[in-house]
Amino acid sequence: MAWNEPGGGNQDPWGNRGGDQGPPDLDEAFRKLQAQLAGIFGGGKGGGGGGGRSAGLSLGGILLVGIALYLFAGVYQLDEQERGVVFRFGAVQEEVVLPGLHWNPPLIDRVEKVNVTRVQSHGHQARMLTEDENIVDVSLTVQWLIADPKNYIIKVRQPERSLEHATESALRHVVGSSKMDQVITDGREAIGVEVQERLQSYLDRYDTGIHVAKVNIDSSAPPNQVMSAFDDVQKAKEDEQRVINEANAYAESVVPQARGQAQQQIERANAYRDQVIARAEGEAERFDKLLIEYRQAKEVTRDRLYIDAMEKVLRSTSKILVDVSNGNNLMMLPLDRLQQAAGAATVLSGANDSVNIADLSDSANDTSSSTTAPPVRTPR
């Protein structure tokens, strides 16, 4: 029955009997364990021959256990993101261990596990001089990972320190060959790409086994001591650009208008030219036809031409010339006043002092002596 059941005699596994409930005796427990191990491996009391055989079996069992432990200690596993570099008696092996379950003899081989997929970050900040002799503070972040585990472990003692120095060198080279406007404005992305290319070339030259995934320019600005002056300069440049844009806009609005006016003048000139040419051609054609008529009836044609010319000349005047008989005297009739008087007579019709156009005409005829004016004479 169990030692803690009733009637078990109050026996515990440590050999305590009776009513003593004190702590177990460690020395006694160790001796019992040693005796059990000796029984398992064939130890114990016996004769001389039996003792030698038991000692041999015990040594063989210990040897087997040691071999098993040695073999078990050499088993290791690599995850998918890890690679292993094997050192055998301190000398690196050519092959890189791939992910999976592997075994290497302990105390002979040493395996260094390297994570080749984890992207690591390195921040860097520096104050440097630009090409146009301006001081600027630049802060960037380098994202990198291990591309060659063997070179990363054995070629460089401190790869991360080498990365830091290479970043400093590449950044100073790029910023030193760029102007301040490019560094702090729209040229930041291009500077980041150039720094990444130059940094990667440095790391490849050193055989660090590091691959630069991305270089991000976090911030780039003048030092705080000159920030106010720099803001004034930027404001002046913005004003300059604004004025240039306004001038360009004005030019874009005026130049097309001037070109339109010039084209309009050209079109008017062309129209006037066509009109003059057409009129000249019409006059020439009319003259040719008139010449044919003149050759057929000279006197009639000449009189007709004279009458048309006089009508054209006297059409715009308000005076009429009358040839007086018995002499070459001409008398001007104020027909314009007569017409005005006629209008007034129409308005004031019924008044006693109204002007009669016929009376005025008669009075005008009376003043020209008692003779009748002959008809207008046409030259021969």
Predicted confidence pLDDT, tens digits, the chain (380 residues): 444 444 444 445 444 444 445 555 666 766 676 666 566 555 444 444 455 555 556 777 788 888 888 888 778 888 888 888 888 887 888 788 888 888 888 888 888 888 888 899 999 998 888 888 888 889 999 999 998 888 888 888 889 999 999 999 999 999 988 888 888 888 888 899 999 999 999 999 988 899 999 999 988 888 877 777 777 877 888 899 999 999 999 988 898 889 999 999 999 999 999 999 999 999 899 888 888 888 888 888 888 888 888 888 877 776 666 665 665 555 555 656 666 666 665 555 544 443 444 444 444 444 444 333 444 444 43
pLDDT at 170: 93
pLDDT at 54: 58
What one-character-per-residue DSSP string does 183-238 give? HHSTTHHHHHHHHHHHHHHHHHHHT--EEEEEEEEEEEE--GGGHHHHHHHHHHHH
Q: In what order do the strands lie in the sheet with 210-221?
A: 120-129, 135-146, 210-221
pLDDT at 358: 43
pLDDT at 349: 52
pLDDT at 325: 63
* pTM recorded for the entire structure: 0.48
Q: What are the extents of the domains in the chain? A: 76-115, 120-222, 227-296, 316-366
Beta strands in the chain (DSSP E): 75-78, 82-88, 91-97, 100-103, 109-115, 120-129, 135-146, 210-221, 320-323, 330-333
Question: What's the rounded Cα separation, in Å, for the pair 73 and 103?
Answer: 9
120-222 is classed in which CATH architecture?
2-Layer Sandwich (3.30)
Question: What's the rounded Cα separation, in Å, for the pair 282 and 330?
Answer: 38
pLDDT at 369: 40
For residue 354, what is the DSSP state?
Answer: P
Identity of the residue numbered 192: G
Could you tell me which residues come within 8 angstroms of residue 330 by beta carbon, excluding any fewer than 6 positions away? Answer: 321, 322, 323, 324
pLDDT at 143: 94
